[in-house]
Amino acid sequence: MFEKRVLKIKGGSNFRDLGGYQTHDGKKILWGRLFRGSALNNFTNHDLRVLKRRHINTIIDFRSLDESLNDPDIYPESSNDIRLTVLDQDTTYSTITPEEFHRLSHSNGFAYKQMMNTYRRLITDEFSQQAYRQFFDYLLNQDDGAILFHCTKGKDRTGIATALFFLAVGIDKETIFQDYLLTDTYNHEQTEAELERMVERGEDDDDIDNVKHFLLTDRDYLENAFSAMDEIAGSPQAYLKKYLDLSDEKIQILRNKYLS
């Protein structure tokens, strides 16, 4: 299953097919229709061929304008590249430099609190809601080929998008969390390298702990997003309808398109 799910990308990590997950009524997400990933700015010719073989013709970029301009996606000319900025400011700190990090608070627990707040914002901010509404519009209107959606690490903005899609088509909460947490497995080599560089520079333990919270997933973060949906809408399903404009009819269209 894992071999089938993971795209063999040389210039990036955490690229996955969302196919195979089972819904509450026994249907399964189709393989080869939806993919999640991280930034495409280091893609090789090999990676572009992988996208073509998977018939990925729509790429949705959740990154901020600065992220997209500084590290532009590399994608096949035939693909439709769509920018849907989810956060007006990248509070996930996905591209933070050591110099920028040192200008932030170094108190222990700072990053954890920041990420908890970010996951809440991804649910409650009108800016983010508008982006995710548009994301679902693209999913609803995709007839041929496959969609790849991504941010920088493929962790937070992409993680929420994946969770919302899973909720819409009927994937249970525990499976949603398991898929979210897999990011740490697929980003492990990259994450360890970044932390090792901090150790080599002699960074203190609080700084390293804070960076871990920016680099790694945490069940608490996603739980905070679910709690925010409960708080403002009553339930995740009610949130999809009220804030993301996913009517029963639209949800049925999604299920027809992406389930078997």
In the chain the first and final C-alpha atoms are separated, in Å, by 17
Residues 6+ apart with CB under 8 A from 75: 40, 43, 48, 51, 59, 81
pTM of the model: 0.93
Residue-by-residue DSSP string for 218-253 = -HHHHHHHHHHHHHHHSSHHHHHHHHH---HHHHHH
Beta-ladder partners of 49: none
Q: Cα–Cα distance between 230 and 237 in angstroms, integer? A: 9
Helix (H/G/I), strand (E/B), else coil: 55? coil
Kindly report which listed range (145-159, 185-199, 231-245) carries the lowest average pLDDT score.
185-199
Weakest-pLDDT range from 33-37, 87-91, 180-184, 219-223: 87-91
At 56, phi and psi to the nearest 5?
A: -80, 110
Cβ 23 vs Cβ 171: under 8 Å: yes
Q: Which two tokens stand for residue 131?
A: 């982006």
Burial of 59 (0-12, 13-18, 19+ CB in 10 A): buried
Residue 167 is classified by DSSP as H
Higher pLDDT, 199 or 92: 199
For residue 184, what pLDDT is reported? 96
In sequence order, what are the residues at sequence separation of 6 or more whose Cβ sits closer than 8 angstroms to the Cβ of residue 96? 214
* Cβ–Cβ under 8 Å, residues 72 and 164: no
Q: Which residues contact 23 (CB under 8 A, 6 or more apart)?
A: 29, 169, 170, 171, 255, 259
For residue 90, the model assigns a pLDDT of 58
For residue 137, the model assigns a pLDDT of 98
In the chain, domain spans: 2-88+105-258
CATH classification code of 2-88+105-258: 3.90.190.10
Per-residue pLDDT at 94? 55
pLDDT per residue over 134-171, tens digit each?
Answer: 999 999 999 999 999 999 999 999 999 999 999 999 99
| CB contact at 8 A, 75 and 81 | yes
* Whole-Å CA distances, 125 to 131, 219, 244, 259: 10, 21, 12, 30
Taking only the tens place, the pLDDT of each residue in 32-74 is 999 999 999 999 999 999 999 999 999 999 999 999 999 999 9
